Structure 1
């Protein structure tokens, strides 16, 4: 009986290499035909978003001054107390009301409007004409002016100039017109602050 051939070192090397190649293919296939991958998750730091603010503060009464204007003639303006003052034809009363406006926000503008200025019912009321002269130094358009936030200040006092005139009507004679109006007239005004687009001028 012929003995089996002896394995040479070269044959052993070749067999070992074939086994290693087969094992590598199995690892690449991931077993049952799937490919495994790694993943990781992490929460971001919390982000806080704060709201801005838009508000009107308490509007207090202001001082008044009077000037008589008839045609192109004007008297000097004199400060008066409206509670004790007695208005007559030709007089123009003027006051500056400081309106506290709060605007907080990077992109914020608002329209400040004297929405309604009126008199309570009285016979004197019909002789008086109230006018919003300016808001923040500008002539109002439809009673309003656009206000922008002031850097470094959340609340500013916006000056609103209001006048009340008693028309001089010397050319018209009225029956029984003795210039007597025994009652008073109470002026009331309502202010409205409304956000507008930051692009609005």
Structure 2
């Protein structure tokens, strides 16, 4: 007896080949992933947004003064003309000038003072005994022990901002030398000498 084996041809519609469908889906997914990587510059695309923390701004203050104007000269007897006046031992000469302060800043503190460290005397030490001092009126601080404090404007409180300060410089030539002896005559006595006052400067600086 002979046994006969029969074979049926496989269908060509792909119904028995699901692995082909899975393979096709994997290829499409891989292509999509590559496209996302390319579009994102090497990273996956994502939603993104940024917002500013605040719309406010902060501005700086200011500390300055106008040039000194309207110098007024006097000695112990009244007004003088510095161009023709001749000072002698025992004289006290003053000159006053005005300046307007600009001081804006919530925590601003400054000091108004005079720098006479470069006061030039043509015949040293003829007038080495000159005493120079300063008084300022018009500011909130009227003491001046350590210079005159300038307080900046804070909000609606103006403090010293916009104030006109009158600065009075006093120069005293003592009637005797610092050691109490007479000035005498000749070199070192201060005769026919001069003092260059252009080196005396008003200084306004911030306290830090």
Compute the TM-score of the two structures, normalised by the length of structure 2.
Answer: 0.56
Contact 2:176 2:183 in 1 (8 A): no
Contact 1:119 1:125 in 2 (8 A): no
By percentage of residues, which structure has more strand? Answer: 1
Q: What is the aligned length? A: 148
Change in 2 beyond 3 A, CA 1:173/1:134:
same
| Cα deviation, residue 114, structure 1 | 1.7
Contact 2:116 2:132 in 1 (8 A): no
What stretches of structure 2 of length at least 5 have no aligned partner?
A: 1-48
SS of the aligned residue for 1:58 comes to coil
| Cα deviation, residue 159, structure 1 | 1.9
Q: 2:201 aligns with which of 187, 190, 201?
A: 190
Contact 2:99 2:164 in 1 (8 A): yes
Compute the TM-score of the two structures, normalised by the length of structure 1.
Answer: 0.58
What stretches of structure 1 of length at least 5 have no aligned partner?
A: 1-39, 68-76
Change in 2 beyond 3 A, CA 1:90/1:96:
same
Contact 2:127 2:173 in 1 (8 A): no
Change in 2 beyond 3 A, CA 1:165/1:118:
farther
Question: 1:78 maps to what in 2?
Answer: 78
Change in 2 beyond 3 A, CA 1:182/1:111:
same
